[in-house]
Amino acid sequence: MLAVLAPGQGSQKPGFLAPWLDLPGAEARLRWWSALAGLDLVHLGTDADADEIKDTARTQPLLVAAALLAAEHLPMYDVGVVAGHSIGEVGAAALAAVLTPEAAITFAAVRGREMAAACALEPTGMSAVLGGDADEVIAAIEAAGLYPANRNGAGQIVAAGALSSLEKLAAEPPARVRVIPLSVAGAFHTPYMAPAEQALAAMSGGITTGTPGRLLLSNRDGSAVDHGPTMLQRLVRQVTAPVRWDLCMRTLAEIGVTAIIELPPAGTLAGLAKRELKGIEIVTVNTPDDLAAARDAIARHGTAPSFEPTPQFRVVVATAAGTFTPAEQLVEGIEVRTGQVIGHVVTRQGPVEVAAHAGILAEWLVHPDDPVAPGHPVARIERLL
């Protein structure tokens, strides 16, 4: 079984989206999402400096856009589990079909603006507390009048609250512990974010949710949520509630995940998994050059063992918006191999290849020159027995 993970705030780097704009349709996608977010996501992902993308209001929709953009180029129908850290959970909800991409971007933009506004109300911050005994660390954090905002596993807990209290914790840390101030705008995932939660709650009633199409793990307790409205409610509450990434990783281990893929900007969650989830395969996707390794991992780990009857076919989907043109001399009933190009989506920027899994081309699901969008089914492939 394979899990796809979406990282949270702090993982962004200047220019990290620049290589993705070379993919056909990517820039247009980002410009559409920019209109929804009220921000220039193209500029933020390519030319903006570190200070500009550190702004919470800008960072949050940018990270969700990055995860969704990369995932559109992966065969997500073979992915069994998705999860995201903090704002990454909004992206994961979209990958599980609880939110549409448009709803996820809009939600992230409101979340970022409202959390930035809440941070401006009083001086607060966050510090990473590394090492030591977890129970002793939590007790010390609470004794200092702070909140354990993130419990990330691998000996990493993030304390959040008033700056004066963070200074007190740094001056008198628990035994065998390092306290490192984080460059963030305020005390995320604490009661200090209550105004942001109220704003999100007020707008969430207008969002239509779907039923999760795969296991979607919650930051609240690491459990899988199978009800769209419940997941949306958890996303609203998440801004004031601790992120229990340690419990998400525990669930990944308990359900037998054998590989993970971290979406861009990747590295943080992969590092935590490397220390906590021994023996699993880890793929980080930071540029389009990493997509081949991710697709290969999905092909090898993507089908979970099951006692239920297994569908004997797979559906191939378009990865861009345009019109579909099948490959010449490729007719129903012919055998195709994994990675074989069975057609192209013709876009304004050029043709985008559509590749198949190994099997028999059982049925075309579109006609030549039919319009398609990302995720639109184009062919059904019967598995080889």
Does the annotation mark 204 as catalytic? no
Alpha-carbon dihedral sign for residues 223, 225, 229, 232: positive
Residue 201 identity: A
Alpha-carbon dihedral sign for residues 206, 58, 227, 243: negative
Which secondary structure element, helix H or strand E, spans residue 265, and what is its range?
A: none
Q: Which residues pair with 281 in a beta bridge?
A: 259
Q: Beta strand pairing status for 322-326 and 313-317?
A: unpaired
337 C-beta neighbours (distance < 10 Å), count: 11
Output the CA angle 42-374-303, nearest 5 degrees: 115
With b for 16 or more beta-carbon neighbours within 10 A and e for fewer, the 1-27 pattern comes to bbbbbbbbbbbbebebbebbbebbbbb
The rounded distance, in Å, linking the Cα atoms of 247 and 83 is 11
| 3-state SS, one letter per residue, for 109-147 | HHHHHHHHHHHCCCCEEEEEEEECCHHHHHHHHHHCCCE
End-to-end Cα distance, the chain: 20
Does the annotation mark 73 as catalytic? no
What phi, psi does 99 have (nearest 5°)? -115, 150
- Which of 85, 189, 301, 344 is the catalytic position? 189
- Which of 11, 34, 86, 127 is the catalytic position? 86
**Any idea which residues carry the catalytic annotation?**
86, 189
